[in-house]
Amino acid sequence: LLQYRNTWLLKNNSLINSHSTIMADSVPEVEGSPLWLIASEESRECLLLALERNEWRPEIERMRPEPSLAEERLWCDANLLERIVEIKKEMNSHEGNDLDGVRKGGNPHEALLENRLMLGRYSMLLASIDRATHFLLTGENIDDVVMKRPLDTRPRGKNIHRDADIFYFAESQTLPVPFASQYIWLRKGFYNAKCFCPQFSPTSPLSALVSHSFLDTMRRVAHKKQEEQNESCNPYDPLMRETFTELIQRGTGGQGVHLYTGFIHNVTPWGEKQGEEGTSTHSPPLVTRAAKEVMFRDSYLGQLLYATGVVRNGGRAVIHFLDTNTSLSMAVLYLAHIVFDRVAIYKPRTSRPGNTERFLICDGLRPKEAKAVKKYIEESLEKVRQGEYLVRLLPDRIMDEDGNFIEYARETNNKLAERQFRFLSSCVRMLKDEEREKVHEDCLETCLPYYLIPYATRDEMVNYREEMKSRSAMDILSFWIPHQLNPADLLLSLCSKNEAINSQILKKKVESEGRLLVTPCADLSSTLIVGTNNGLDFWSGKWKKWMGLSRFTTILPPDSVLIGDIIETAGGSTLIVRILDVGVIFGDDISNLPFKKRLRAAEKLVEATRKDGARQDVIISVAKYEEVDRGFRPNSISDRVVEDDIYFMKKRIFVVKESNASFYNMACGENIWEIYE
């Protein structure tokens, strides 16, 4: 990394100089490291004792209910705040389109935010944070990252973490598009991660590198408006927060997620869009930070409640702030630094320098402190009277008396305010600066290798999506099948050659003490199932043709090839799939692994795609080969029958689990005698 940084500095003086002409500043590094804040054990014990006694409640209730700009001076340099206010007033005299161009064009990393692979600047912001913390969020390293996800839109890479436990993460945001999910999935790769998201619109786009299959949402069990198309669920609403928390705990077996990320979109509770500089398009010219924070009070508290309620012991969280200069935001920061081993206020380089956006990185959840703080915040919210705002969690003196905390908070706020002021003061000059486009081009060339992020323009992604959508099941099968095999022969073998071979084996060896090797696709009910970008396609051995299930688009990820039993209930409302064998999962070719390892990968796929929050219209399981002799077939289908794997049980699939036969050999019946002997 040091060698890379030195090489970057030597080769990119032009980038640094160009950046200087834009922002009157230099960039010595692609991404600076965060400065961590660690609470003393004495501070933790004192706070826990005070929370248990609830000794601050009367004092807080006597305080003036509304914040003011004056209180911001407690946490940031007063002169800096005055200068920022004055320069914002001056900026209001310019046309909105000009300011929007400066806000975007003046950010050297803006080109990275237009990466259509990530579909949203929050994904790139998370990539910046993860890289600056040496992959603290995802637990990766450079070698593994490049191996799993080459810096290209096409290669799938190698799934070196196939046998690792699933990485669980959750995010909360007010729009039906998962932001953080796209980066986390990109970094973890294949089917190694599962996301919990409060809502997701089926029509919302996702990156071509991401599959809906690995996303569980509470959207269908949340509040609904009368019109289905206007369905919405604010994750920071108390009822939604409770529902989402229960979903996450149920989906992780009560352990919680490894990582939680929260985001605030710049839309106020009244539907007004907040400008990047703190002004509303429908409000008076200047809205103070304090007033803006009142608008987003629920999201600050909601993010901390999620962090204390869904993150597992030792886990991590990222909390999104629009400011850390008022009593409420500072109290959230203070409580977070008690709940976690360490925290850091951080503004990534990819974040636009003219706004007040910043993130609180939290590492190492402490369950005892988390439980106490969560209870305190919930009780505080319950005591807020109708029509009033909770603008304080702690008396200001509590934070002032903690010298280590107050020094860190003021120093960080001053640095971020100074950076914002330098950018805003350069806005008028930047309107006439012709070097901005050159800076964006240089940034793409130098920063993409650092962030280890593939890049694609809008046109490239449109073409790529169309190409993926046009692929048929036969196209996918032809791509993944070994060159020496013919896809048409494979389809014919599924219900002819295998059935005959297995019948002979069964007759010849049934009396012997040896274990039988009978392939999973040995009779007419077995089907070849292929996951496409348009749903599921399966080859029916009975009807000798491909049959599609396009409405089930979130069952399996594309580029998946497997053998299984598939049943569609009356009316087509429920689909039941039992996996007998698997060859490819989301581009991870496991066809040559031993049979037992293929089943283990299939079980991981089932866990990653299991949806507790959505309507249960699909039930997927893996064959339980140790129970196949039971041979009981009930007259009806129920959840219990499917869970016990009874409905599908047939003696024909008594399989040697230690077999090294490849997926395609099992499907074609090739070399079956040789393998058995």
Q: What is the pLDDT of residue 227?
A: 42
Distance CA 10, CA 7 (A): 5
Q: In what helix (H) or strand (E) does residue 618 lie, and over which residues does it extend?
A: strand 618-622
Q: Tell me: the pLDDT tens digits for 47-104?
A: 999 998 887 877 776 665 555 555 556 778 888 888 888 887 777 666 666 666 666 6
> Which domains are seen in the chain, by residue range?
2-467 (3.40.50.12760), 471-676 (3.30.470)
Token pair 């990275």 is found at 112
Q: What is the pLDDT of residue 516?
A: 42
Residues in the chain: 677
Distance CA 406, CA 67 (A): 19
Q: What is the pLDDT of residue 317?
A: 98
End-to-end CA distance of the chain: 53
Q: In what helix (H) or strand (E) does residue 20 lie, and over which residues does it extend?
A: helix 13-23
Token pair 């005591």 is found at 383
Residue 433's closest CA among 18, 7, 38?
Answer: 18
Listing from the earlier edge strand, what are the strands of the sheet with 193-197?
Answer: 215-217, 193-197, 167-172, 257-262, 311-321, 358-365, 340-346
Distance CA 340, CA 333 (A): 11
Q: What is the pLDDT of residue 180?
A: 73
Q: What is the pLDDT of residue 547?
A: 79
Distance CA 275, CA 282 (A): 10
Three-state SS sequence of 285-345? CCCCHHHHHHHCHHHHHHHHHHHHHHEEEEEEEEEEECCCCCHHHHHHHHHHHHHEEEEEE
Angstrom distances, CA of residue 627 to CA of 129, 361, 663: 48, 48, 22
Positions of the chain with pLDDT under 50: 1-29, 220-232, 267-291, 509-518, 522, 627-654, 671-677
Q: What would the DSSP string read from start to end of 499-560?
A: HHHHHHHHHHHTTSSSPP---TT-STTEEEEEEETTEEEEEETTTTEEEEETT-TTSS-SSE
pTM (2 decimals)?
0.84
Q: Tell me: the pLDDT tens digits for 2-12?
A: 343 344 333 44
Whether 333 and 409 have beta carbons less than 8 Å apart is answered as yes
Q: What is the pLDDT of residue 569?
A: 62
Structure tokens at 113: 């935010």
